[in-house]
Structure 1
Amino acid sequence: MNLLKKIVKIVIIVFVLIITGAWLYSKTYHPNYSGELELNNLTKKVTVYFDEIGVPHINAENQKDAYTALGYLHAQDRLWQMDLVRRIAAGRLSEIFGEKLIRTDKLFSGLGIEEASDETIKNLDKNSEHYKLAVAYLNGVNQYIEDGKTPIEYTLVGVEKEKYTLKDMYNVYGYMAFSFAIAHKTDPLLNEVKEKLGSAYFKELIGAEFENLTYIKNEAKPELTGSFTKAMHDLYSVLPISPFIGSNSWVIGADKTKNGKVIFANDPHIGFSQPSVWYQAHIKTPNYEMYGFNLALTPFPLLGHNREYAYGLTMFENDDIDFYIEEENPDNNLQYKTENGFVDYKLIEKRLKIKGRKDSIYTIKVGRHGPVMNGLVDHLDDTRSIAMQWIYTMHKNELLEVGYELSHANSLSEFKAGTKKLHAPGLNIMYGDAKNNIAWFASGKLYKYRDSLYTKTYLNGASGKDEILEYLDFEQNPQAVNPSWNYVYSANNQPDSIAGILYPGYYLNEDRAERIVQLLEPKNNWTKEDVAKMIMDVTSPNAPKIASDFVNSINQNKLSASEKKAISILKSWKGNFDKNEVAPVIYNRMVYEFQKNTFSDEMGEAFKQFENTPFIEKVLPVQSKRVNSVWWDDVTTKNKIETKEEIVTSSFRNTFSFLQSQLGENVENWTWDRVVSVEYKHAVGEVAALRKYFNVGPFVTNGGDQVINNQIYDIDSTGVYKVKAGPSTRRIVDFSDVENSLSILPTGQSGRVFSKHYKDQVKKYLNGDFVKMKINKEEILKSKNVLIINPK
Structure 2
Amino acid sequence: MKNIKRVLAILGILILILLLGAGIFANTLKPDYKGKKGLSKLTQEVTVHYDAYGIPHIYGENEEDAIRALGYVHAQDRLWQMELLRRIGRGGLSEVFGKDMLGTDKFFLSLGIDDATEETLKKLDMSSKKVQLSEAYLDGINQFIEEGPTPIEFYLTGIDKEPFTLTDIYNTFGYMAFSFAQAHKTDPLLTDIKNKLGVEYLMDLAIDIDPNSTLIKNHNKQPSDSLLGNVMAAVTNALKGLPIPQFEGSNSWVIGASKTKNGKVIFANDPHIGFAQPSVWYEAHLNTPTYEKYGYHLAGVPFPLLAHDRKLAYGLTMFENDDIDFYYEKTNPEDSTQYQTAGGWNTYETVNKIIKVKDSVDVTFSYKKTHHGPILNGIANQIKGEEPISMSWVYTKHENKILDVVYDMSHANNLTEFKAALPNLHAPGLNIMYGDAENNVAWFASAKLYHMSDSVHTKFILNGESGKEELVNYIDFSENPQAVNPPWDYVYSANNQPDSIAGMLYPGYYLPENRAKRIVQLLEPKNDWDRDAVGEMITDVTSAVDPRILLNLYNSVKVKELVDEQIILLDKLSLWNGTYTLNSIEATVYTRWLYFVLKNTFHDELGEEMFKQFLSTHFHKRLIAPLLENKNSIWWNDIRTVDKEETLQDVVHKSYVEAMESLRNDFGNKISSWTWDKVHTIEHGHPIGQVESLRSYFNVGPFPVQGSREVINNMAFGYDGTGKYKVTGGPSTRRVIDFSDVENSMSILPTGQSGNPFSPHYDDQADMYINGEFRKMMMNKKEIEKTAKSSLTFAPVEQ
Would you call these one fold, judging by a TM-score over 0.5? yes
Q: Aligned AA for 1:371?
A: P
Aligned to 1:563: 566
Aligned partners of 1:327 and 1:461 also within 8 Å = yes
Aligned partners of 2:432 and 2:444 also within 8 Å = yes
* Whole-angstrom CA distance in 2 between matches of 1:210 and 1:529: 34
* Whole-angstrom CA distance in 2 between matches of 1:301 and 1:587: 40
* Whole-angstrom CA distance in 2 between matches of 1:202 and 1:211: 18
Q: Deviations over 1:259-309 (max 9, x none)?
A: 000000000000000001000111111111001000011000000001110
Aligned to 1:98: 98
* Whole-angstrom CA distance in 2 between matches of 1:190 and 1:602: 13
Q: Is residue 2:50 matched to residue 1:50?
A: yes
In the alignment, structure 1 segments of 5+ residues that lack a partner are none
Aligned to 2:446: 443
Aligned to 2:343: 340
Q: Is residue 2:731 matched to residue 1:690?
A: no
Q: CA deviation at 1:99?
A: 2.1
* Whole-angstrom CA distance in 2 between matches of 1:383 and 1:590: 39
Alignment of 1:17-96 (within 5 A): 17-96=17-96
Q: Aligned AA for 1:350?
A: K
* Whole-angstrom CA distance in 2 between matches of 1:93 and 1:504: 34
* Whole-angstrom CA distance in 2 between matches of 1:382 and 1:699: 46
Over the residues paired in the alignment, what is the CA RMSD in angstroms?
1.4
Aligned partners of 1:224 and 1:435 also within 8 Å = no
* Whole-angstrom CA distance in 2 between matches of 1:720 and 1:479: 39
Q: CA deviation at 1:3?
A: 6.1
Q: Is residue 2:543 matched to residue 1:540?
A: yes
Aligned partners of 2:206 and 2:622 also within 8 Å = no
* Whole-angstrom CA distance in 2 between matches of 1:233 and 1:348: 23
Q: CA deviation at 1:352?
A: 1.7
Aligned partners of 2:107 and 2:235 also within 8 Å = no
Q: Aligned AA for 2:789?
A: K
Aligned to 1:739: 743
Q: CA deviation at 1:21?
A: 2.5
Tell me the secondary structure at the aligned position of residue 61 of structure 1.
coil
* Whole-angstrom CA distance in 1 between matches of 2:207 and 2:760: 52
Change beyond 3 A, Cα 1:498–1:382: farther
Tell me the secondary structure at the aligned position of residue 441 of structure 1.
strand
* Whole-angstrom CA distance in 1 between matches of 2:146 and 2:500: 53
Q: CA deviation at 1:164?
A: 1.2
Give 1:645's match in structure 2, choosing from 631, 642, 649: 649
Tell me the secondary structure at the aligned position of residue 110 of structure 1.
helix
Aligned partners of 1:334 and 1:365 also within 8 Å = no
Aligned to 1:676: 680
Q: Is residue 2:625 matched to residue 1:621?
A: yes
Q: Deviations over 1:17-65 (max 9, x none)?
A: 3333322221111111000111111111111111111111111111111
Q: Is residue 2:582 matched to residue 1:579?
A: yes
Q: Is residue 2:406 matched to residue 1:403?
A: yes
Q: Aligned AA for 2:619?
A: F
Give 2:260's match in structure 1, choosing from 252, 257, 260: 257
Q: CA deviation at 1:536?
A: 0.5
Aligned partners of 1:266 and 1:732 also within 8 Å = yes
Residue identity (%): 53
* Whole-angstrom CA distance in 2 between matches of 1:392 and 1:521: 37
Q: CA deviation at 1:207?
A: 5.3
Aligned to 1:326: 329
Q: CA deviation at 1:237?
A: 2.1
Aligned to 1:773: 777
Aligned partners of 1:211 and 1:622 also within 8 Å = no
Q: Aligned AA for 1:789?
A: F
* Whole-angstrom CA distance in 2 between matches of 1:770 and 1:251: 19
Q: CA deviation at 1:685?
A: 0.3
Aligned partners of 2:576 and 2:586 also within 8 Å = yes
Give 2:734's match in structure 1, choosing from 709, 713, 730: 730
* Whole-angstrom CA distance in 1 between matches of 2:39 and 2:717: 44
Aligned to 1:133: 133
Aligned partners of 2:113 and 2:171 also within 8 Å = yes
Tell me the secondary structure at the aligned position of residue 371 of structure 1.
coil
Q: Deviations over 1:393-452 (max 9, x none)?
A: 001110100010010001101100111110000000000001111110000000001112
Q: CA deviation at 1:641?
A: 1.4
Tell me the secondary structure at the aligned position of residue 326 of structure 2.
strand
Q: Is residue 2:307 matched to residue 1:304?
A: yes
Q: Deviations over 1:79-136 (max 9, x none)?
A: 0001111111111111111122111111101001011100111001112110111111
Alignment of 1:604-619 (within 5 A): 604=607, 605-619=609-623
* Whole-angstrom CA distance in 2 between matches of 1:731 and 1:759: 18
* Whole-angstrom CA distance in 1 between matches of 2:665 and 2:547: 25
Taking structure 2 as the reference length, the TM-score comes to 0.97
* Whole-angstrom CA distance in 2 between matches of 1:362 and 1:199: 38
Q: CA deviation at 1:770?
A: 0.7
* Whole-angstrom CA distance in 2 between matches of 1:504 and 1:516: 23
* Whole-angstrom CA distance in 1 between matches of 2:127 and 2:447: 26
Q: Aligned AA for 1:562?
A: E
In the alignment, structure 2 segments of 5+ residues that lack a partner are 226-230
Aligned to 2:397: 394
Q: CA deviation at 1:168?
A: 1.2
Give 1:789's match in structure 2, choosing from 786, 790, 794: 794
* Whole-angstrom CA distance in 2 between matches of 1:237 and 1:115: 23
Tell me the secondary structure at the aligned position of residue 219 of structure 1.
coil
Aligned partners of 1:569 and 1:582 also within 8 Å = no
Q: CA deviation at 1:480?
A: 0.6
Q: Aligned AA for 1:723?
A: V
Aligned to 1:632: 636
Q: Aligned AA for 2:269?
A: N
Q: Is residue 2:425 matched to residue 1:422?
A: yes
Q: Is residue 2:289 matched to residue 1:286?
A: yes
* Whole-angstrom CA distance in 2 between matches of 1:3 and 1:212: 86
Give 2:659's match in structure 1, choosing from 620, 630, 655: 655
Q: Deviations over 1:150-175 (max 9, x none)?
A: 00001011111111111111110000
Q: CA deviation at 1:6?
A: 5.4
Change beyond 3 A, Cα 1:642–1:58: same
Aligned to 1:667: 671
Q: Deviations over 1:594-624 (max 9, x none)?
A: 1111111111120011023211000111111
Tell me the secondary structure at the aligned position of residue 430 of structure 1.
strand
Q: CA deviation at 1:356?
A: 2.5
Q: CA deviation at 1:208?
A: 5.9
* Whole-angstrom CA distance in 2 between matches of 1:585 and 1:26: 42
Q: CA deviation at 1:666?
A: 1.9
Alignment of 1:163-202 (within 5 A): 163-202=163-202
Tell me the secondary structure at the aligned position of residue 512 of structure 1.
helix
Give 2:415's match in structure 1, choosing from 402, 412, 416: 412
Q: Deviations over 1:571-599 (max 9, x none)?
A: 11110000101111111111111111111
Which stretch shows the higher mean deviation, 204-213 or 130-139?
Answer: 204-213
Aligned to 2:240: 237
Aligned partners of 1:739 and 1:776 also within 8 Å = yes
* Whole-angstrom CA distance in 2 between matches of 1:366 and 1:531: 49
Tell me the secondary structure at the aligned position of residue 469 of structure 1.
strand
Q: Aligned AA for 2:793?
A: I
Taking structure 1 as the reference length, the TM-score comes to 0.98
Q: CA deviation at 1:235?
A: 2.5
Q: CA deviation at 1:466?
A: 0.7
Q: CA deviation at 1:560?
A: 1.2
Which stretch shows the higher mean deviation, 627-636 or 289-298?
Answer: 627-636
- The aligned length equals 790
Tell me the secondary structure at the aligned position of residue 162 of structure 2.
coil
Aligned partners of 2:185 and 2:616 also within 8 Å = no
Aligned partners of 1:208 and 1:618 also within 8 Å = no
Aligned partners of 2:209 and 2:497 also within 8 Å = no
Q: Aligned AA for 1:323?
A: F
Q: CA deviation at 1:72?
A: 1.0
